[in-house]
A and B are shown apart, each in its own frame.
Chain A
Amino acid sequence: MCLAVPGRIESIREEQGTRMGKVNFGGVVRDVCLAYVPEAVVGDYTIVHVGFALSRIDEESAIETLRTFAEMGLLEEGLAEIRGEAPLDEPALCPLPPAEAPRR
């Protein structure tokens, strides 16, 4: 339902009391309302929907998710769970993100 796109915050300013900023989406720059991401700073990536930043993208979670995708280990873990076994591989090197990954 909701097309939201990641972009990098390039600048932040106050405009009539509202926190606004320029966000760069792969070379396309738009004005975005940053009122809902008070913690975000220049350089952060944020998810933007209809001109509003809704969430700061957590780089650690992103890296972890990608590392998980890159490994085939996750398939074996899924199989193991169904068979009622412990995961075959010790997931220390490439852990699945926990169901609710803690944020920085």
Chain B
Amino acid sequence: MKHLAEYRDGDTARRLAAGIGKIVTRPWAIMEVCGGQTHSIIRHALDQLLPPEVELIHGPGCPVCVTPLEMIDRALAIAALPGTIFCSFGDMLRVPGSHGDLLGVKAAGGDVRVVYSPLDALELARRHPDREVVFFAIGFETTAPANAMAVRLAERGGVKNFSVLVSHVLVPPAIAAVMESPGNRVEAFLAAGHVCSVMGTLQYPPLCDRYRVPIVVTGFEPLDLLDGIRRTVVQLEAGRHELENAYSRVVTEEGNAVARAVIADVFEPCDRTWRGIGTIPASGWRLAERYAAFDAEHRFAVGGIVTAESPLCRSGDVLRGAIKPSSCPAFGRECTPRTPLGATMVSGEGACAAYYHAGRFAADREGRR
């Protein structure tokens, strides 16, 4: 595919990685904020190309991982209601709530469907006027324009049986939370290119200044990521802390003004609990008052939700970069991809699941020596 294949060249990747080795003089801890970056790094084993001085810390930018337990439980309760079609991105179906997951609700008779786009959920609502169609509107800034448009089109089209369960989260407050968390080791960030395609980059220079930390906006292909890492190392070694845009083919300083206007119409800022991390002020979006009729939280009175997080799970510490997944006492014992205690163990891009597979290999090699 054009605009993908060019950024996957093996020789250039090795050259970029070797270049990082030539400029690095001491250990640096760099956090890739976004789950998509983590996925690409693990999928292509890019971390193995880097010099030992460069440590990558997997950040909290996986909406599946940070969606609060209370919201998952609410989703499970709504999905189980008779007459409801509950639509979700595929990622969310295996995320554990206090008691089970969406796949379990489906097995027990709930009508749970995977959709590719919120517009597909809206279309289902149009086709099934006798059913309540609920869309689980999770995601970072990247997904917000899509979710906002679905709500707008539902309003314009008078689709009254459509509603959204909103759990949006935002990147800049998360970067601030990471920098302010006790024991923080992160010295530079790879910021998420697709978030910035919507939001632009103007939110980031103040963070660079306040925390004296370099932030480089990157794409998601191997060469994009390696170039982003190279640029952070250049800054770190030079003692600079600036915003750089290494994804200029997609990201502009101003971002997508049309999309931001629709977001501002449909959503409003709110405090948001991040699973495993806690409440971060002004770190999320919820439906604006004017669209309250489309809010599944209002429409479905599913009370009595008592959340119960596994007492063993330390995914919050992992998401903040405070511990490595393998430092969690439950890692690989009570908690495996087959029996995940926390969301970070669920999908391949979750930091714990990623470590689980890679770690097993490393441990095996260790054992043979």
A and B touch in the complex (CB under 8 A): yes
Contact surface of A with B, Cβ cutoff 8 Å? 1-8, 16-18, 25-26, 33, 35-38, 45, 47, 49-52, 54-55, 57-59, 61-62, 64-66, 68-70, 72, 74-75, 78-79, 81-82, 97, 99-101, 103
Shortest distance between the CB of A33 and any CB in chain B (Å)? 6
Q: Is the CB of A6 within 8 A of B1?
A: yes
Q: Is the CB of A33 within 8 A of B119?
A: yes
How far does the alpha carbon of A1 sit from the alpha carbon of B227 in the complex, in Å? 19
How far does the alpha carbon of A21 sit from the alpha carbon of B254 in the complex, in Å? 24
Shortest distance between the CB of A22 and any CB in chain B (Å)? 14
Q: Indicate which residue in A52, A57, A58, A78 contacts B117 across the interface (CB closer than 8 Å).
A: A52
B307 at the interface (CB under 8 A from A): no
Q: List 17 A-B residue pairs with CB atoms under 8 Å apart, sorted by A's residue number.
A: A1-B34, A4-B142, A6-B2, A38-B258, A50-B146, A54-B197, A54-B198, A54-B256, A55-B198, A58-B249, A65-B246, A69-B12, A75-B22, A78-B19, A97-B246, A97-B248, A99-B244
Chain B residues whose C-beta falls within 8 Å of the C-beta of A68 in the assembled complex: 227
Chain A residues whose C-beta falls within 8 Å of the C-beta of B238 in the assembled complex: 81-82
Contact surface of B with A, Cβ cutoff 8 Å? 1-4, 6-7, 9, 12, 15-16, 19, 22-23, 25, 34-36, 61-63, 89, 116-120, 139-140, 142-143, 145-146, 149, 153, 156-157, 192, 194-195, 197-198, 201, 220, 223, 227, 230, 233-234, 237-238, 242-246, 248-253, 256, 258-259, 262
Chain A residues whose C-beta falls within 8 Å of the C-beta of B2 in the assembled complex: 6, 8, 26, 45
